[in-house]
Structure 1
Amino acid sequence: MWIVFALLSAVFAALTSILAKIGIDGVNSNLATAVRTVVVVVMSWLMVFVTNNQSGLSEISRKSWIFLILSGIATGASWLCYYKALQMGSATEVAAVDKLSIVFTLILAFFFLHDTFTMKSLIGCALIATGTIIMVW
């Protein structure tokens, strides 16, 4: 079932790039990111209440709070940079470079989460990096 959600995530991410590129025309990239963030916050809390998960808020551990907050900061930085890049470059090139996050995730997961490299993951990362270079330069 995870693959369905992962594919939907990829489709929505692609839509995000296209819709944002159109919507950001003539708008400050930081302001555009703030507007988008408000929409995401409203949608997220709506899902929490629709699925009746709001009671779980008090069950979040201190460690989870810290890492969720740090993740939120990283997400905010990513979105601010993404929107600025999208305002300055083509959606295709920006999206391609953004996908290098897969390569960075593999490296960071190796060092911080002790994930292991497989031949398949190394080849995949090399192909992603090569594909990005081909698409952008």
Structure 2
Amino acid sequence: MEKWVAYAFLSMLFAGFTSVIAKMGLAGISGDLALTIRTLFVSLFVLGFAATVIPASDYSLLNRTNILWLGLSALTTTLSWIFYYKALKLGDVATVALIDKGSAVVAILLAWLLLKEVITLRILIGGALIVGGLLVMVKKP
């Protein structure tokens, strides 16, 4: 297995835990407060990670374009997290988490439009299955 695939599966695993643990942490408080506390912890953990693994020389590689795109990514992450926590406070973890993972379809389309990535039949089928799963999960019985 290629290293990036292993990393992607680990990301999936931890993201799954994140949703359930976050829902448990929402007990008795607002989603907004929960998000703020979680984000403070994430900031501390990421800063600690950066301090231990990023060589100081890497910072000189940053340019305005990197900072612009990473800043925009931070903005969209912030908006995603705000709405995710609002949904998580009100809804079931399984449904909210699945809808959130529908972002993969958005990513596929944006990667095709903006990055000129190739959409293969395998990717089309996978995306269609995700959309199908979303429709099944959100349909009221």
- Are the counterparts in 2 of residues 29 and 83 from structure 1 also a CA contact under 8 Å? yes
Counterpart in the other structure of 2:112: 110
1:67 & 1:44 partners in 2: Cα distance? 19
Q: 1:100-119, CA deviations, whole angstroms, 9 ceiling, x for partnerless residues?
A: 10000011111111112111
Counterpart for residue 16 of structure 1: 18
SS at 2:24 equivalent: helix
Which residue is equivalent to 1:4? 6
In the comparison of the two structures, how many residue pairs are matched? 137
Moved over 3 A (4+): none
The within-5 A match list for 1:46-125 is: 46-125=48-127
Q: Deviations over 1:34-67 (max 9, x none)?
A: 1111111111111111114344233211100000
List per-residue Cα deviations over 1:63-120 (Å, max 9, x = no partner).
Answer: 0000010000000000011000000100000011011100000111111111121111
Gaps spanning 5+ residues in structure 1: where? none
1:76–1:128 CA distance, 2 compared to 1 (3 A): same
How far apart are 1:24 and its partner, in Å? 0.8
In the alignment, the residues of structure 1 paired with residue 23 and residue 69 of structure 2 have an alpha-carbon distance, to the nearest angstrom, of 30
**Equivalent pair of 1:48/1:54 in contact (CA under 8 Å):** no
Could you say what the CA RMSD is over the residues aligned between the two structures, in angstroms? 1.1
For structure 2, the residue ranges without an aligned partner over 5 or more in a row are none
1: CA distance, partners of 2:75 / 2:12: 22
TM-score, normalised via structure 1 length? 0.95
Opposite residue 96 of structure 2, the aligned amino acid is V
Give the alignment's TM-score, normalised by structure 2: 0.92
* 8 A contact 1:17–1:95 mirrored in 2: yes
